[in-house]
């Protein structure tokens, strides 16, 4: 199957090679992926900081990325602290706003 542009952008093949194949914990792969998701979000923050366009809504983008990072780290910490209870309610919580459509029009 051909990779999607997004899979190429985040270098999914390279990420998948780092995921544990067999784990002692049922959550180990999920936790590993959670940390990698945070790393990807930090890269997006870097891209937002480097974006010189006035219409890029840099501050709003960074705030939303930081919200995702915070929620992801909270979910990962819950999985580490309570491995038998997956915190899917934390992962599924909507971010503030209406899903990204609250950005001002250019």
Distance of CA 61 to the CA centre of its chain: 13
**Sign, CA torsion 42/45/51/56:** positive
Residue 85 within a domain: yes
Residue 64 within a domain: yes
CB distance 58 to 51 below 8 Å: yes
Residue 61 has pLDDT above 70, yes or no: yes
Number of domains in the chain: 1
Residue 56 within a domain: yes
State the average pLDDT over residues 11-16.
Answer: 80
Confidence at residue 87, expressed as pLDDT on a 0 to 100 scale = 55
Structural domain boundaries, residue 54:
30-92
Which segments within 1-106 are labelled E, that is strand?
none
Residue 7 within a domain: no
State the average pLDDT over residues 79-95.
Answer: 61
Residue with tokens 């250019």: 106
Three-state secondary-structure class, residue 73: helix
Residue 103 within a domain: no
pTM given for the model = 0.59
């Amino acid at each position: 199957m051909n990779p999607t542009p997004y899979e190429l952008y985040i270098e999914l093949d390279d990420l998948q090679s780092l995921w544990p194949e067999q784990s002692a914990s049922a959550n180990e792969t999920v936790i590993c992926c959670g940390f990698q998701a945070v790393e990807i979000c930090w890269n997006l923050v870097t891209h937002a900081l480097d974006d010189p366009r006035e219409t890029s809504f840099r501050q709003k983008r960074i705030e939303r990325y930081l919200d995702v990072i915070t929620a992801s780290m909270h979910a990962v910490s819950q999985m580490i602290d309570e491995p038998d209870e997956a915190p899917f309610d934390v992962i599924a919580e909507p971010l503030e706003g209406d899903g990204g459509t609250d950005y001002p029009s250019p």
